[in-house]
Chain A
Amino acid sequence: MSTPKNPLELVDRYLQAVRFWLPKTRRQEDLLAELGEDLRSQIEDKETELGRALDNAEVSDILKRCGAPMVVASRLGPKRHLIGPSLYPVYEFVLKMVLLWILVPVFLFIVGPATLASTNGDWGKTILTTMGNLWSGAFIAAGVITLVFAVLERTHAIADINCKWDPSSLPPLEKPERKTSMFETVCELGFNVFGLTWLLLVPQHPFLILGPASTFLTGGPIWNRFYVPIVLLAVAVIIRAVVILVRPQWKAFPLASQVLQAVLTLILIRYIIDAAGAAGSVGWHPFVMLTANAADRGAAEVARLGHVAAVLNALILVSFVCMWIGVCIGGAVHTWELLKYFRKQRTSQQPASLQVQ
């Protein structure tokens, strides 16, 4: 870089550098001219004080004190922002809601299990694909939201909202958080123990699940694969209830374990549905099938019972699909509640003066 011929050239170079960062308007040119005049006056004053002309180093000191060209330009230029302070809280809320409370649950409970099914249970590939898709989805969503809010900022939409705002449209006060009572937890535990006992007795006593139909129907081949995981899940549910009972101080545990339980249930149901779908279409009896004794009842009766078994199998499959959808929604709700809980915790840790009363 060439050395300036005289110290004043350094000032011109400085002004040129500041101009680079400013919008090319008359107002900015005016400001720049004033800045130049100010700097020259400073130099002149200093020269009068010293009784000689300033050298490059001394002028550099004055310019350094004034600040780097980019910083000075940012102070001189118009205040610019993509999303202003009045819209920013809404922007932050929408961004959090979409990314954390919609995108993450959707990927966790719908896209993830669907990917797992499409990759034939390859967990590594599923996690990588889901995370990749989640990243792109989050990036696009954040971009679109930012763009929409930038447009709202430019069109001064917040002013319209402020004019149309009506206090009568405020939502009612939130009800105080309902705490799970000890009685409720004990009942839940008792019910789960009863359920597990029933589940353990079913293989020896099919009457408990099939009723009178147990004389001609029995469990299908699918239960050989999934009976143990179902029992383990039931045991996990009991352990969860016990932990809630003995460790009531673990405030986040009920919600976090409920989310985990939903995820495990979803995975299990998904595998059951896949296994049922993969069963042969001829003589499709994945869940219930005719017992060996039923064959002694005559051809017409066997055909009628076979029809009953087919309808029952189809109904069970539909029930599993409905259950899968229900658990998905439940899981999303529990995730939402868990995030709300963590948010509340974080807010309660802030100093009282910063909390909204």
Chain B
Amino acid sequence: MCYTVCVIHCMSNGTQQSSEMFENLRLELRRGCLALAVLTQLRTERYGYTLRKALADDGLEIDEGTLYPLLRRLESQGLLVSQWREEDKRNKRFYRLSPMGEEVLTQLLNEWQKINGSLNKILQEA
């Protein structure tokens, strides 16, 4: 019985560890992709909520606590420009790519295509 309890305990610990590990790797993988997706979406001007909706409609859910700090970071890096404007009687902050952002996005998309191609090749070989 002790053995059974121990095995169950070890298995549940193992499952918990693997799910935690998966979550960490998933977040790591997502982080870079989110920046790329946000930059791509902001080729046309949007404000926070519509950007979130556009991403969610394309299957990339992002919460408020992640999106707004990311937008601030990309803006402070000079990749985005923003301005507060009134729309429908409410103040909204609109974002769009800066000229530098457009340049970096082109490079990033090329890199993404390369990585994607390599990964597909590796997956086909496996």
- Which residues on A are within 8 Å of B, measured CB to CB? 27, 30-31, 33-35, 37-42, 66-67, 71-72, 74-76
Stretch at the interface among B23-31, B89-97, B105-113, B114-122: B89-97
Consensus secondary structure, chain B interface:
helix
Beyond A31-B72, A37-B93, is A67–B63 a contact (Cβ under 8 Å)? yes
Indicate whether B66 reaches chain A with its CB closer than 8 angstroms. yes
Known: A31-B69, A38-B52, A75-B66. 10 other contacts (CB 8 A): A33-B93, A35-B64, A35-B68, A37-B90, A37-B91, A40-B90, A42-B49, A66-B64, A75-B69, A76-B69
Shortest C-beta distance, B81 to chain A (Å), equals 14
The tally of CB-CB contacts under 8 A between chains A and B is: 46
Residue-wise, chain B 54-97 has the 8 Å CB interface mask toward A (1 for contact) of: 00000000011110110010000000000000000011110000
Q: Which residues of B contact A71 (CB under 8 A)?
A: 65
Residues of A contacting B66 with CB < 8 Å? 75
B residues in contact with A76, CB < 8 Å: 65, 68-69
Residues from 4 to 59 in B contacting A, C-beta threshold 8 Å: 47-50, 52
| Chain B interface residues (CB < 8 Å from chain A) | 47-50, 52, 63-66, 68-69, 72, 90-93
Q: Within the assembled complex, what's the spacing in Å between the Cα atoms of A34 and B69?
A: 11
Are A34 and B48 neighbours in the complex by a CB distance under 8 Å?
Answer: yes
CB distance from A286 to the nearest CB of B (A): 58
Between B48, B49, B72, B93, the greatest number of chain A beta carbons within 10 A of the residue's beta carbon is seen for B49
Q: What would be 12 A-B contacts, judged by CB atoms less than 8 Å apart?
A: A30-B93, A37-B47, A37-B48, A37-B90, A38-B48, A38-B52, A38-B64, A41-B50, A66-B65, A67-B65, A72-B65, A76-B69
Contact B65 A34 (CB under 8 A): no
> Quick check: A31 and B63 within 8 Å, CB to CB?
no
Least CB separation from A35: chain B residue: B64
Interfacial chain B residues near A66, Cβ < 8 Å: 63-65
Q: Give chain A residues whose Cβ lies under 8 Å from the Cβ of B68.
A: 31, 34-35, 38, 76
Residues of chain A within 8 A (CB-CB) of B48 are 34, 37-38
Closest Cβ–Cβ distance, residue A174 to chain B (whole Å): 32
Per a CB cutoff under 8 Å, which of A27, A33, A72 touches B64?
A: A72
Tell me, in angstroms, the Cα distance from A263 to B17 when the chains sit together: 42
| Cα separation A72 to B65 with both chains bound (whole Å) | 6
Which chain B residue shows the least CB distance to A31? B68
Q: Which B residues touch A35, using CB under 8 A?
A: 64, 68
Instruction: Kindly provide the distance from the CB of B91 to the nearest chain A CB, expressed in whole angstroms.
Output: 7
A40 to B90, CA, bound (A): 10
Complex Cα spacing A270 to B78, Å: 71
Measured between alpha carbons, how far is A123 from B8 in the docked complex, in Å?
A: 45
Instruction: Give CA–CA (A53, B17) in the complex, Å.
Output: 45
Task: Say how far A145's CB is from chain B's closest CB, in angstroms.
Answer: 29
Q: Contact: A41 with B91, CB < 8 Å?
A: no
Which chain B positions have C-beta within 8 A of A40? Answer: 90
A30 neighbours in B (Cβ, 8 Å): 72, 93
Residues of B within 8 A of A74 (CB): 65
- CB-CB under 8 A from B90, the residues of chain A are 37, 40
